[in-house]
Structure 1
Amino acid sequence: MTDLSTLWEVGVPLAGTVGGLGYAKFRAPRVFWSLVGLPVTRVRFAMTYRSTMDVCGLTVQPSRLRAFMVRTVARRSDVQPVPPKVRRVRGTSTGLRVTLRLPAGLEPADVIAASERLRHAWGVHSVNVVETKPGHVELRMTGYDVLRRVKMPRRVPSGPMTVPVALREDGTAFVRDYLKVPHALTLGANQSGKSMYQRNLVAGLARLPVALVGIDCKRGVEQRGYAPRLSALAITPEEASGVLDALVGEMEDRFDLLSEYGAGDIWDLPDNIRPVPVVLLVDEVAELFLVATKKDEERRDRMVTQMIRLGQMARAAGIFLEVCGQRFGSDLGKGATALRAQLTGRVVHRVNDKQTAEMGVGDIAPDAVVTVLVIPPDKPGVAVAGDSSGGYSRIRTPKLSAADAAAVCAKFAHLTPELPALAPYRPITATPADSPAPVPLVKPIPATD
């Protein structure tokens, strides 16, 4: 009886603990990682670090001075190879961060090439290598698939033109910083999550003191809900041509202002005269290239030329481009490649053809093309983000419905600036005063004496 009661008192809590950890591993991976994964990985890293670096080829022969000290002071005949020196080990809610000081003879590319072997050796989900400063790299390990359920970190970079949009595979936030990357191209097939990316971007921009200009040639299906926060909206190719002409005219007026004050861009101007930044959102860029008749070619060529001019010069004037599309290739027509060259930031979701992936990231990160082509269709929102530095990473945007994005735009509608050049294209939004009075369901009966 005593043995049975002891088994009951010990076994039931133990089984509950094991079952709770098993449930947390799949339903609450952050909790499981903090309680179990992080301590186990940290101990494994400390015990196997030197041997792992040795078998992965990340060690170098010691210097002559070090070899001399080992032989004379330590009285040892064998001199061990030198691995990178661990400067800092820090645990996070998603993984482990390790800062390494590379010895002479190693470069960050060597560590990047061995990242897959390090991942298997330490039993983590992924290992990303980031060069923090010359001679130092940071190993960003993730203990589980952070892109399976996207949860944005609490601390994200902030700035006057910075918008957190998605989550990187190393657990950090992917942000659109327009002061560093002024123009971007976003590609993705149907049901790939491209619209979700746009919603998160618009919801973040709506909170900033900027002017939003939309071009949605699908009769405004995607961007009509953002109308309270838009300073201009074009829903046909004819209106799009007029909006682009107005933006180019606005850019030229701002250049005159910069020349008058001797400023390099609008951020060098005094606050009281600085014009508001403008972000142009193009929903489907192919609609601006395609023409049905020969008489439309002149308008097409003019629109493409205006967009290229904006991409080349508008950054200093505070005008930024966000170009989106399902497909992008040189066969769209004249000017497609020239426009792509001005779009520094690249975000490519799942696509239907290899040429779109190559046009999206092939010119800046050739290795990323394969990563784009293997994005599974059952994970909408997963994309590959690259830039002109040659690096790329997998990201995923959090879920945001069209109604929620529209609600954010309506909430911050008071921040919508009025630009005189774009006044003819300002969308008309219904207000409570404009809504018709409700019709009574019961017909009133007049009072009689």
Structure 2
Amino acid sequence: MVGIVVVTGLMLWCQVAPASYGRLAAPRLALLWKSPMYRLRWSRVASRCGLVVHPHGVVLHDEPTRVRIPTILRVTVSPTGLERLLLRLPVGLTPDDVASRAEAVGHAFHVADARVVLARPGRVWLELRRRDPLEGVLHPITPGPVALRGVPLGMGDDGKPWRFRVEGTHALVAGATGAGKGSVLWSLVHGLSPAIREGWVQVWAIDPKGGMELGLGRGAFARFEGGHPDAMCVLLEEAVDLKTRRSLELSTHGLRVHRPSVDSPHLVVVIDELATLSAFAERTVVRRIEHALGLLLTQGRAVGITVIAAVQDPGKDVVSWRDLFPTRIAMRLDNPIQVDMVLGDGARERGARADHISELTPGVAYVRTEGTRDVRRVRSTYLTDADILNLSTSLAPRPTSEHSRDEHDEGEAA
């Protein structure tokens, strides 16, 4: 009788409030059968996939050979379809060993995505994704008060907001044509728009393609260059001059970190295609660009300057200063080698398969931040051309009343 009442109550809950049911009840109900299922099948799957440690040394013929496999300590199920197994590793097995076999384990449990996250020494989380919450397009929402330590750009596959740290870092966004690099850049400008409007954040943009990518929203930028390489080089050198002045000012006042204000705004330098920036310039201009960009990347963070650079080819010959970007964003890439180029050695083994991102899901990416080897899968919001035009119009500087009056007088004189 009690069981019938419980089942009836759950069915009514699912029909009346499906959102809260899916968030609160469904994961707990799934855990009731998935936890025993994983524990029952784990020994066979781990052995077949090679997650075993064999004994070394002298083994007697009449002594049974014992192999050790990771032990499941805990199973969790999230509302977004993420199933996590906390594994205790036997002596002789490392997190990299588990990561190298994660894809095989995922196929054994019939899931498309499997990756490994370090929990603590000797323990790892094996994450198995059965459904993808990032399949649908994410539309921008009205941004709230801006905090440079976490500007919302989209959502992670854990269902939590993707907050991008702007202050104290530089970011490299790598992806093939059509991967959605523009959506990351415009989501960032959209998230910063309240601070830009208030005047304590400025965005300088460089579009080597003549304004084809960023020119649509040039009203959002305090400075914009999309023409001659020499003009773009001058813009970078002006950012270096600003960096030098701020460094002297901070040292004079005994400060080590820049605090943004209307008088001294945080500067975000956006470069749409880093390789094209120097591809068609004269050699002397190329050297000036490399020198200016190197100074900004090595000395700009402490004085309130952030460089966001997008690139199609993350090869060493194209991005010689790749290691100077603490934050790396890998969107859809052409081959597995490029994944480790962007996110660091072993990133793909740990589940960052950026070369497997579908062409039908632009904006999906893997993100690695400074100080950690963990990689997070995210998707940025998508701003349409109309959204970008509205954003540009809302952020474009208004003509002063004196300027308007002068134009009116000139019109009357005519």
TM-score by length of 1: 0.66
Q: 1:174 aligns to what SS in structure 2?
A: strand
CA gap 1:326/1:32 in 2 versus in 1, 3 angstroms? farther
Out of 249, 269, 272, the residue aligned to residue 241 of structure 2 is: 249
CA gap 1:250/1:173 in 2 versus in 1, 3 angstroms? same
What's the CA shift string for 1:52-104, capped at 9, x where partnerless? 443326899xxxxxxxxxxxxxxxxxxx9993433xx6654313565848477
Q: Which residue of 2 aligns with 1:214?
A: 205
**Equivalent position amino acid for 2:255 in 1:** A
Q: Which residue of 2 aligns with 1:342?
A: 324
What's the CA shift string for 1:113-151, capped at 9, x where partnerless? 564566466666645443345566555554412221255
**Equivalent position amino acid for 1:223 in 2:** L
What's the CA shift string for 1:229-281, capped at 9, x where partnerless? 322111222321221111111101111112112222215xxx87983211100
Once structures 1 and 2 are overlaid, which stretch shifts more, 254-263 or 99-108?
99-108
Cα distance in 1 for residues equivalent to 2:162 and 2:235? 30
1:200–1:400 contact (8 Å) kept in structure 2: yes
**Equivalent position amino acid for 1:130 in 2:** V
CA gap 1:138/1:150 in 2 versus in 1, 3 angstroms? farther
Cα distance in 1 for residues equivalent to 2:109 and 2:314? 40
**Do structure 1's residue 94 and structure 2's residue 80 form an aligned pair?**
yes
Q: Which residue of 1 aligns with 2:133?
A: 146
CA gap 1:37/1:125 in 2 versus in 1, 3 angstroms? farther
1:186–1:322 contact (8 Å) kept in structure 2: yes
Equivalent positions of 1:363-374 (< 5 A) are 365=347, 367=349, 371-374=353-356
1:357–1:369 contact (8 Å) kept in structure 2: no
Aligned residues: 364
What's the CA shift string for 1:262-318, capped at 9, x where partnerless? 222215xxx8798321110001212321236xxx22122101110011001111111
1:207 deviates by 3.1
Q: Which residue of 2 aligns with 1:43?
A: 32
Q: Which residue of 1 aligns with 2:153?
A: 165
Q: Which residue of 2 aligns with 1:276?
A: 265
Cα distance in 1 for residues equivalent to 2:293 and 2:356? 32
Cα distance in 1 for residues equivalent to 2:388 and 2:233? 27
1:37–1:143 contact (8 Å) kept in structure 2: no
Q: Which residue of 2 aligns with 1:325?
A: 311
Name stretches of at least 5 consecutive residues in structure 2 with no aligned partner: 1-10, 54-67, 409-414
**Do structure 1's residue 187 and structure 2's residue 187 form an aligned pair?**
no
Q: 2:365 aligns to what SS in structure 1?
A: strand
**Do structure 1's residue 301 and structure 2's residue 292 form an aligned pair?**
no
Once structures 1 and 2 are overlaid, which stretch shifts more, 189-198 or 347-356?
347-356
**Equivalent position amino acid for 1:167 in 2:** M
Cα distance in 1 for residues equivalent to 2:69 and 2:336? 45
**Do structure 1's residue 404 and structure 2's residue 393 form an aligned pair?**
no
CA gap 1:396/1:283 in 2 versus in 1, 3 angstroms? same
Equivalent positions of 1:41-120 (< 5 A) are 41-55=30-44, 56=46, 83-86=71-74, 91-96=77-82, 100=86, 102=88, 105=91, 108-109=95-96, 112=99, 115-116=102-103, 119=106
What's the CA shift string for 1:157-189, capped at 9, x where partnerless? x84332232433444443321346x11111223
2:179–2:359 contact (8 Å) kept in structure 1: yes
Cα distance in 2 for residues equivalent to 1:183 and 1:246? 18
Cα distance in 2 for residues equivalent to 1:124 and 1:211? 44
1:212 deviates by 0.8
Cα distance in 2 for residues equivalent to 1:153 and 1:221? 22
Equivalent positions of 1:215-234 (< 5 A) are 215-234=206-225
Cα distance in 1 for residues equivalent to 2:335 and 2:118? 33
Q: Which residue of 2 aligns with 1:380?
A: 362
Q: 1:206 aligns to what SS in structure 2?
A: helix
**Equivalent position amino acid for 2:31 in 1:** R
1:374 deviates by 3.2
What's the CA shift string for 1:203-236, capped at 9, x where partnerless? 1122334211111123323223433332211122
Q: Which residue of 1 aligns with 2:57?
A: none
1:215–1:234 contact (8 Å) kept in structure 2: yes
Q: 1:316 aligns to what SS in structure 2?
A: helix
1:30–1:93 contact (8 Å) kept in structure 2: no
Q: Which has the larger radius of gyration?
A: 1
**Equivalent position amino acid for 1:285 in 2:** L
Cα distance in 2 for residues equivalent to 1:407 and 1:307? 31
Q: 1:161 aligns to what SS in structure 2?
A: coil
Cα distance in 2 for residues equivalent to 1:153 and 1:122? 35
Cα distance in 1 for residues equivalent to 2:399 and 2:111? 53
* Superposed CA RMSD: 4.4
1:30 deviates by 7.4
Q: 1:241 aligns to what SS in structure 2?
A: helix
Q: 2:191 aligns to what SS in structure 1?
A: helix
What's the CA shift string for 1:335-393, capped at 9, x where partnerless? x41x2221222223334577765643465736489933333333322333345644434
TM-score by length of 2: 0.70
Cα distance in 2 for residues equivalent to 1:367 and 1:194? 24
1:323 deviates by 0.6
Once structures 1 and 2 are overlaid, which stretch shifts more, 96-105 or 377-386?
96-105
Cα distance in 1 for residues equivalent to 2:104 and 2:25? 22
